[in-house]
Amino acid sequence: AQTVTQSQPEMSVQEAETVTLSCTYDTSESDYYLFWYKQPPSRQMILVIRQEAYKQQNATENRFSVNFQKAAKSFSLKISDSQLGDAAMYFCAYRSQPLGNQFYFGTGTSLTVIP
């Protein structure tokens, strides 16, 4: 089974600053999908950004971007201009190809935004 590792249980960032959350994964597959999910205190799981492994270009969504290093099996999330509403638990996730059945999550990083 694939494993997803988030080595930072907790992170903090000053409002308006930039923070990077780390994620590594282990797989023998060449095609797969990677995701970052946000879970605020409301406990709702919200998709933040996704990356297809065959694409070399890093995905971006407004203030959120990823640094995808396929050879290193690394998938970090960068949050620019951090806002108070970014405070949440962030989960990295891996989804297999081609069937897409298996979906693996990391253990999460709790992000605090300091005013």
CB 55 within 8 A of CB 115: no
Residues contacting residue 22 through CB under 8 Å, at least 6 positions apart: 6, 7, 8, 74, 76, 109
In the complex with other proteins, the residue whose CB is nearer, 17 or 52, is: 52
Contact call for residue 95 and other proteins (CB under 8 A)? yes
Give the residue, chosen from 25, 35, 68, 94, that forms a contact with other proteins under the rule CB under 8 A: 35
Contact call for residue 110 and other proteins (CB under 8 A)? no
CA distance linking residue 31 with residue 29, whole number of Å: 6
Return the ∠ at Cα 44 (arms to 39 and 45), rounded to 5°: 60
Contact call for residue 57 and other proteins (CB under 8 A)? no
> Which among 1-9, 22-30, 61-69, 71-79 is the span making contact with other proteins, rule CB under 8 A?
1-9
Site of interaction with other proteins (CB under 8 A): 1, 4, 6, 33, 35, 43-45, 47, 50, 52, 91, 93, 95-108
